[in-house]
Amino acid sequence: MIPRRELFPNVIEMNYQARRRLGCCVYLVHDRGAWGLIDIGYEDTLDDIVDLIRKMDFRLADCRYLVATHADVDHIQGLKRAKEIMPQAKVVGHRQAARLLAEGERIMTYAEIAAQGISIDLPKVEFDGVIDEGDVLEIGGLKLDVWHTPGHAPAQLSFRMGELLFSGDNIYRDGAVGNIDAHHGSDLPAFIKSLERIRDSDVKWLLPSHGPVFRKDSVHIQKTIDRLTTYLHLADFGTCAIDWPLLEEWDAELVRDFDPAKA
């Protein structure tokens, strides 16, 4: 038996619990014996995570939910094996994540990044249910409100529990955000809306999917919103931008005689 290192009442995070970096954040939410996990991480850390859970004296048979914040391989590769170990637990997530993982889709989940030689296993998994904006997950007496916060990925969900928001890949402590990538289904205007929603909410703490937990700070989130807003009009993220004003400037210049000395 090992002591439970709760970050907040009823919330344990497995990297903090292990006191070493295992991978993406894996949150264990528990109440009255019932518990659930938000994300599971890679398959090769699954045994360590299950071992920690057992040693904290949670019964595997009491796991209600295995939640996917979205379908990226680093968040969910271990899902299939976790479901085999805990068959009573319901695998839930957004319908787009359910589709990607039922199909074993490799591009949108980052299992395959051919240009970088990245090619890793993506075990297919069938979800037991899909969840979306407005749904509520109940664990013991706890209620987790499901927020659909697309931007990084179409399937990105966040979960509000009182003053806590399990905020997925929306924003990290350094103001960085989850990868913006057209092939991943990223959507910059949607991303900005999701961040504005988080900024304007009265949650006090953000529990992200990567890196440390941090206090919600509207000024900090606004800096990130401002940065993403500039991306809307820059070529940096290709087809994720909504326009490129430089092309209009160029149009105007093309109809005049070009004079390098005046450029």
Closer by beta carbon to Zn ion, 43 or else 72: 72
* Shortest Å distance, C-beta 243 to Zn ion: 28
Give the residue at shortest CB distance from Zn ion: 169
Cβ–Cβ under 8 Å, residues 102 and 130:
no
Q: Interface residues with Zn ion (CB under 5 A)? A: 72, 169, 209
Distance CA 246, CA 120 (A): 39
Distance between CA 103 and CA 125 in Å, rounded? Answer: 8
- Kindly state the smallest distance separating residue 65's Cβ from Zn ion, in Å: 19
* Closer residue to Zn ion, CB minimum distance, 91 or 142: 91
**Separation CA 105–CA 161 (nearest Å):** 31
- Closest CB 232 distance from Zn ion, rounded Å: 22
Token pair of 97, please? 């994540």
Which of residues 72 and 187 has its CB atom nearest to Zn ion in the complex? Answer: 72
Q: Are 38 and 67 in contact (CB under 8 A)?
A: yes
* Closer Cβ to Zn ion, 36 or 41, answer by number: 41
Does residue 97 contact residue 75 with C-beta atoms inside 8 Å?
Answer: no
Residue identified by tokens 């703490």 is 205
CB 123 within 8 A of CB 168: no
Give the DSSP letter of residue 20.
S
Rounded least distance, CB 72 to Zn ion, Å: 5
- The 8-class DSSP code of residue 262 comes to G
Residue 38 beta carbon to Zn ion: minimum distance, rounded to whole angstroms: 12
Pick between residue 56 and residue 97 the one whose CB is nearest to Zn ion: 97
